[in-house]
Amino acid sequence: MMTVRETSLEMTRNIGIMAHIDAGKTTTTERILFYTGKIRKVGEVHEGAATMDFMIQEQERGITIGSAATTTYWKDCCINIIDTPGHVDFTVEVERCLRVLDGAVAVFCAKGGVEPQSETVWRQATKYGIPRIAYVNKMDIVGADFFNVMQMMRDRLAAEPIAIQIPIGSEEEFVGVIDLVQMKAYVYYDDEGNDVREESIPEHLLELADEYHAKLVEAAAESDEELIDKYLDGLELTCDEIRRAIRKATIENKLIPVCCGSSYRNKGVQLLMNAIVDYLPSPLDIPPAVGVSMDGTREIEAPADANAPFAALAFKIVSDNFVGNLAYCRIYSGKLTSGSYILNATKNKRERLSKILRIHAASRQEVEEACAGDIVALVGLKDTVTGDTLCAVNKPIIMGAMEFPDPVIKIAVEPKTKAGQEKLNQALNRLMIEDPTFKTYTDGETGQTIIEGMGELHLDIIVDRLIRDFKVECSVGSPQVAYRETITKTVKHEVRYIKQAGGHGQYACIVVEFSPQKPGEGYAFENCTVGGVIPKEFAVAVDKGIQSAAKNGYLAGYEVIDFKARLLDGSTHEVDSSELSFTIAGAQALREALAKAGSVLLEPFMKVEVLMPDEYTGDVIGNLSQRRSKVENMAIRANLQVIHAMCPLSEMFGYATDLRSRTQGRGMFVMQFDHYEQVAPAVAKKLLGIL
């Protein structure tokens, strides 16, 4: 065994590779591993041989499903890399990884530019204040346009990209890149990335290179007070000064350095790795992680220091048949030793750590200890789930919790044999621990096991894993939409819950006002009673009862969302009142009030982007209209027609096949959940008639 820390914190980079699906994230990661000597042979995604796509489901589909971690070295720098999925159904993988990373590489297709999921992952990175560099990949494909991608970054992402490289040619004529810091050309004379020659900038690109070099120098000077005077005096900035200034602006999220290349053709990847080392932060360059004390009264910092108290965040749980659950953790401060006891501060439970593992995709290496700045997997933690804070037993700290979107689609699964029910339940529980966006429950009326997820592909992968990984033979029902209910008007309702039956009875009297909230505001509770007519603990019980009743609505049993409950008045009995009686009264109040509060059905609407050749536009728009979709705008992108629309999820089942048939296989689309919207009366009537 060995220790993890082989380099200093200054020479450590914790980064994520993020992008829209098929932009080349995994291919880029594969090349990074090859050129850093981590692997000896490049595996291709389309052949199912990529190192980071090790799940059988990933290899068959040619897409990344689960985030994969690895550690490699470049220029004496330790780089911990997490390769994230690009498909919207697995956006939770991006969310929880960005939560613990220090920097990110945003990969953009040179033809498609800023695509829908690019915007989603960019917003996620902005949410956590992650410094980024951009890599414009696929410069060798037809329609590649480096400068158009930079403009799309400005228009769609409100970003400030600054080119640190520009391409030498494009499409079939892409042969290398110009380094704008050193003002040198790197020309590739083979497709293996072995014959790379440093040359003078080609004559026909000299003027363009000078123009973008001047922009780079100006941006560097503006971001560093020490350099601005030198720049204004007309003195030339050195390469080190430019790098230092651009690094400072990148870490402060003021600039996005932009590189280019073709990972599949092995061009530009080494220069991208140089940029990762030069511009992305080390754990020491970012503010210390901040948590709170166990009672929530004071803030506590977790500095990137191996001598500080231990503090880490579990950002992913992976179920393993041999060692149980693996808890992927980012260590923010302190040191962790194999076999030690630690505190799960979120649950206030002590855990004993049996092993520490360094992860390389599907393989693992046991280490004796891990320190601040490391990303490792821990074995032996029984109560830890995604988002839990782990810390020293005598120095408790709780980091901020992770938030995950609710599922929007569900299906029924049934084991083919009675004996398989327990096996199914165990498998589903393990999958829920792994994936916070996956939910399962038993329908109280039908007795069916229902699984919920973020999309058709998400549930397809879940079912595939049930059959293959967990050996559960099961039948699957048709996909169903996760509808919701809400109220449209304010109502005030009184409930008197009184039961007397020998000994202590039950007594609760409450007056509650229910009112609608704006879409997306969720549920809120307010105790408006005065003079202590309802003790605080009973008010909390009313809130608990209302939330419990909200899980089954009035119209069709769907969850009730976006409403506010105000406890206005009530009374208690000195003997018979209890928390249970007020919980029951709260639930009863909501159930009875829904009947007169104007309950309506809500359905999930998806943001959809459709790309196809122009000749199919009319047919595609007509089909979207038949699916109750609202076309918001249209645009031309790289000789393709792009349609942006809002579509009800219930109408989008089977759309991939429909679109392919209407466009002779040349159309494609992506969609992601956007919001809930009231179901049209005619559709609601039809739905309620068959429920």
**What b/e readout covers 78-111, taking b as 16+ CB neighbours within 10 angstroms?**
bbbbbbbbbbbbbbbbbbbbbbbbbbbbbbbbbb
**Distance in angstroms (rounded) separating the CA atoms of residues 295 and 345:** 11
Q: Is the dihedral of CA 212, 213, 216, 217 positive or negative?
A: negative
Q: 71 with 81: CB under 8 angstroms?
A: yes
pLDDT in tens, 56-113: 665 666 666 667 788 889 988 999 988 887 666 677 788 888 888 999 999 999 998 9
DSSP state of 382: S
**Distance in angstroms (rounded) separating the CA atoms of residues 101 and 28:** 18
**Distance in angstroms (rounded) separating the CA atoms of residues 401 and 435:** 15
Q: 517 with 562: CB under 8 angstroms?
A: yes
Is the model more confident about 347 or about 320?
347
Quote the tokens at residue 527. Answer: 């105790």
pLDDT at 674 over 90: no
Residue with tokens 């640190």: 164
Identify the pLDDT of residue 3. 47
String of DSSP letters for 345-379: TTTTEEEE--EEEEEETTEEEEESEEETT-EEEEE
**Distance in angstroms (rounded) separating the CA atoms of residues 23 and 134:** 12
Weakest mean pLDDT among 73-77, 142-146, 189-193, 576-580: 189-193
Please give the helix or strand (H or E) that residue 219 lies within, else none. helix 206-222
Residues 6+ apart with CB under 8 A from 194: none
Is the model more confident about 39 or about 618?
618
Q: 280 with 133: CB under 8 angstroms?
A: yes
**Distance in angstroms (rounded) separating the CA atoms of residues 153 and 334:** 38
Residue with tokens 């397809």: 460
What are the start-end ranges of the E strands in 479-599? 480-481, 484-486, 491-499, 506-516, 524-527, 563-571
Average pLDDT over residues 428-438: 88
Average pLDDT over residues 477-482: 78
Identify the pLDDT of residue 445. 56
pLDDT at 163 over 70: yes
**Distance in angstroms (rounded) separating the CA atoms of residues 561 and 543:** 14
Q: 570 with 588: CB under 8 angstroms?
A: no
Average pLDDT over residues 651-664: 82
Q: What's the mean pLDDT when you consider all of the chain? A: 87
**Distance in angstroms (rounded) separating the CA atoms of residues 400 and 387:** 8
Weakest mean pLDDT among 53-62, 353-362, 519-528, 575-584: 53-62
At 140 the three-state DSSP class reads coil
Residue with tokens 């919790």: 401
Q: 115 with 609: CB under 8 angstroms?
A: yes
| Distance in angstroms between the alpha carbons of the first and the last residue of the chain | 60
pLDDT at 224 over 90: no
Residues 6+ apart with CB under 8 A from 304: 9, 283, 284, 288, 332, 333, 372, 373
Q: 644 with 631: CB under 8 angstroms?
A: yes
Identify the CA nearest to 452 among candidates 486, 480, 471, 485. 480
pLDDT in tens, 284-322: 999 999 999 988 888 999 999 989 999 999 998 888 777
Quote the tokens at residue 434. Answer: 């792994």
Identify the pLDDT of residue 187. 94
Beta bridge partners of 199: 185
Q: What percent of the chain has pLDDT over 90?
A: 47
Rounding to the nearest 10 degrees, give the CA dihedral for residues 185, 10, 387, 558. -30
At 334 the three-state DSSP class reads coil
Tell me which amino acid residue 190 is: D
pLDDT at 453 over 60: yes
pLDDT at 691 over 50: no
pLDDT at 414 over 50: yes
Q: 481 with 604: CB under 8 angstroms?
A: yes
Residue with tokens 């971690």: 69
> The pTM is what?
0.74
Q: 449 with 428: CB under 8 angstroms?
A: yes
pLDDT at 392 over 70: yes
Q: 270 with 35: CB under 8 angstroms?
A: yes
Q: 43 with 62: CB under 8 angstroms?
A: no
Query: H helices within 353-487, ranges in order?
Result: 420-434, 456-468
Q: What is the 3-state secondary structure of 146-196?
A: HHHHHHHHHHHHCCCEEECEEEECCHHHCCEEEECCCCEEEEECCCCCCCE
Tell me which amino acid residue 291 is: G
Please give the helix or strand (H or E) that residue 533 lies within, else none. none
**Distance in angstroms (rounded) separating the CA atoms of residues 71 and 76:** 13
pLDDT at 51 over 90: no
Highest mean pLDDT among 249-263, 359-373, 460-474, 552-566: 249-263
pLDDT at 206 over 80: yes
Identify the pLDDT of residue 230. 85
> Phi and psi at residue 45, in whole multiples of 5°?
-60, -45
**Distance in angstroms (rounded) separating the CA atoms of residues 500 and 402:** 45
Q: 92 with 100: CB under 8 angstroms?
A: no
Query: H helices within 550-654, ranges in order?
Result: 579-594, 617-626
Identify the pLDDT of residue 312. 94
Weakest mean pLDDT among 239-248, 356-365, 420-429, 566-575: 356-365
Residues 6+ apart with CB under 8 A from 248: 223, 224
Average pLDDT over residues 244-258: 95
**Distance in angstroms (rounded) separating the CA atoms of residues 177 and 175:** 7
